Structure 1
Amino acid sequence: MEELKYIEFENYLKNELTEIEKKAFENKLQSDADFKQEFEIYKALETSLSSKFKNEEGEKELRKTLTNLGNQYINEEKGTKKKSKVISLFNYKKLMVAASIALLIGFFIFKNGNPVYSDFANHSNLELVVRGDSNEILLKAQEAFNAKNYKTAFAQLTILETDSPNDIEIQLYKGICLLEMDKFSQAETIFDKISKGNSAFSNKSTWYKALSYLKQEQFEACKNTLKTIPESAEEYKLAKKLLQKL
């Protein structure tokens, strides 16, 4: 089955083959041009599809790679003397490459069927209200968070919290920092506390609790948490979208 070949490709890329298997694989890459071609296509799709085209550059890179692979075929066939057979063979190979790509896309979609945290973790910039003598610390916190330097941001927010212990927004962003640092238990403790309150950040905190479960691939817990977000909440549409993908 083709899937077994792709699993072998993946195991090679992850360095999970035995020395004997690795040597046999590399020998086949040297001796079998079609096998090598499929492997190169797999690597291109592994890079781009597994990240689900998070940005346009990723998609452009995939297109460029596949174009280069196609051009290799063209250059190989130009050196053949029997031109009529070249056209036929090239068209056949194009179909084989297209079929390989279709199979690989199906393989990756199956492998990566569930949504991932990075698809939904789009944080609003931190823009806190200036608080007297805390102005410098606040600016450092904002700069660090907006630059995705979550460890520094958390440290600065903790200092700010000593002067404003009841500021829910500071607490929420501390929770987000902890989530980004994979400190799930601490983050969820903060999100739980806020979501049970009556602040304007209650539903947003519930949303982030769901994202914490998503990041840990606890999909059922994520679903159950999303279902508690009311239709009136700003996060409801996002919650509905995520539910549909789970």
Structure 2
Amino acid sequence: MDEAKYILFDKYLNNELTSVELKSFEDQLVSDADFKHEFEIYKALETSLAAKFENEQEEIELRKTLQSIGNQHIKAPKKETKVIPLFNYKNLLVAASIAVLIGLFIFNNGNPVYGDFANHNALEIVVRSENNQAVVAAEEAFNSKKYEEALQQLTILSDEYSEDVEIELYKGICNLELNNYTEANQIFTEISNGKSSFSTTATWYKALMYLKQEKMENCKKVLQTIPESAEEYTQAQKLLKKL
């Protein structure tokens, strides 16, 4: 199914065709069984997806994603190739288009996963340390997602600055990324029970820790403790709705 058909089907479903285009479209539905089959699949999947959206912006984002994926992966066949007959190639395009829609449907409506929500702020250590090399190394490693190396450097710094909550928080994130759940839980619990400005952030990460382990009930309980005034509240509510 090529991009032109996506556009045509979409215009029909949104009553955007001219009278001439509408008649041509409906005539083709009657005369072309393949065309009608493709349209029925598109309509069913698009309706199922749209029913799950919370607002218009989510639908707009889906349309952009479909167009982007279509441009990248659904290319017209080259005239010189004879490996795949034209009829079979057409069927492959239809199958690919359906797979894209089903994949997006599953992604948006299946259980949430850790990767959907684990968006870490860049590490920028503000402490003045005689061991500036460890500061630079920790920042570069963490921001490059080299979590094992980052954890090593942050541990060196935490020995020097044992009261620095931010360093401890990022140690917890590194442990979480490395699946060191016991160590991560200990750090997040201690920070969330404290009175620092990072307490709700640690609570959020504790919820993500349970999400990564697929302990959904534990995740829900932690999310429900995040107050409305917290910066993480919106994301917490979004995750709660998906659980």
Quick one: higher RCO (CA 8 Å, sep 6+), 1 or 2? 2
Letter in 2 for 1:164: Y
The Cα of 1:140 is off from its aligned counterpart by 1.0
Match of 2:224 in 1: 227
Distance across 1 between alignment mates of 2:191 and 2:199: 5
Distance across 1 between alignment mates of 2:130 and 2:189: 30
Show the 5 A alignment for 1:111-122.
113-122=110-119
1:88-132 C-alpha deviation (Å, 9 max, x unpaired): xx6x99589547744774477448701111111110111111323
Distance across 2 between alignment mates of 1:150 and 1:186: 14
Distance across 1 between alignment mates of 2:196 and 2:235: 20
1:36-58 C-alpha deviation (Å, 9 max, x unpaired): xxxxxxxxxxxxxxxxx9xx999
Does residue 203 (structure 1) correspond to residue 200 (structure 2)? The answer is yes
The Cα of 1:179 is off from its aligned counterpart by 0.4
SS of 1:130 mapped into structure 2: coil
Distance across 2 between alignment mates of 1:241 and 1:57: 20
Does residue 65 (structure 1) correspond to residue 73 (structure 2)? The answer is yes
The Cα of 1:205 is off from its aligned counterpart by 0.1
Match of 2:164 in 1: 167
Distance across 2 between alignment mates of 1:216 and 1:139: 31
What TM-score, normalized by structure 1, do the two folds share?
A: 0.62
Show the 5 A alignment for 1:1-246.
60=68, 63-68=71-76, 76-77=85-86, 98=94, 101-102=97-98, 105-106=101-102, 109-110=105-106, 113-246=110-243
Instruction: Extract structure 1 runs of 4+ deviating beyond 6 A.
Output: 56-59, 69-73
Q: What percent identity do the matched residue pairs reach?
A: 47
Q: CA RMSD in A?
A: 3.4
Letter in 2 for 1:170: I
SS of 2:140 mapped into structure 1: helix
The Cα of 1:218 is off from its aligned counterpart by 1.3
What TM-score, normalized by structure 2, do the two folds share?
A: 0.63
Letter in 2 for 1:114: N
Structure 1, unaligned runs of 5 or more:
1-52, 78-89
